[in-house]
């Protein structure tokens, strides 16, 4: 969902989360995430590594940015566009 349209009080499904559409929802479900609350305390970098292992392909590093956005949101931060996490990801990794 577009981060500008996210209302924390109405987040019930994965697609209610900022930056999560059908493709990201499939990725999250592949990781065992069934509801937004399952993301509390998750590490986006570990999620990315697990997704790459499960799919057998190196995913686009921007997937980390999406995972950063949803974990940050579920840990209490305001919804933000996934690309606002790109520089932080690049600082923390070589991806």
Each domain of the chain, given as residue ranges in start order, spans: 3-92
Measured between alpha carbons, how far is 87 from 78 in angstroms, rounded to an integer?
A: 18
Measured between alpha carbons, how far is 90 from 84 in angstroms, rounded to an integer?
A: 11
Measured between alpha carbons, how far is 18 from 94 in angstroms, rounded to an integer?
A: 25
List of long-range contacts for 90-94, beta carbons under 8 Å, 24+ apart: 92/45, 93/45, 93/61, 93/64
pLDDT in tens, the chain (95 residues): 888 899 999 999 999 999 999 999 999 999 999 999 999 999 999 999 999 999 999 999 999 999 999 999 999 999 999 999 999 999 998 76
* This prediction's pTM: 0.94
Predicted confidence at residue 95, as pLDDT, reads 65
């Amino acid at each position: 969902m577009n981060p500008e349209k996210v209302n924390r009080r109405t987040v019930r499904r994965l697609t209610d989360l900022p930056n999560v559409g059908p493709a990201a929802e499939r990725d999250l479900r592949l990781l065992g995430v069934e509801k937004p609350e399952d993301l509390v305390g998750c590490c986006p970098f570990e999620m990315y590594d697990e997704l790459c292992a499960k799919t057998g392909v190196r995913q686009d590093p921007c997937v980390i940015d999406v995972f950063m956005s949803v974990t940050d949101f579920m840990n209490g931060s305001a919804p933000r566009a996934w690309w606002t996490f790109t520089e932080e990801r690049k600082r923390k990794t070589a991806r």
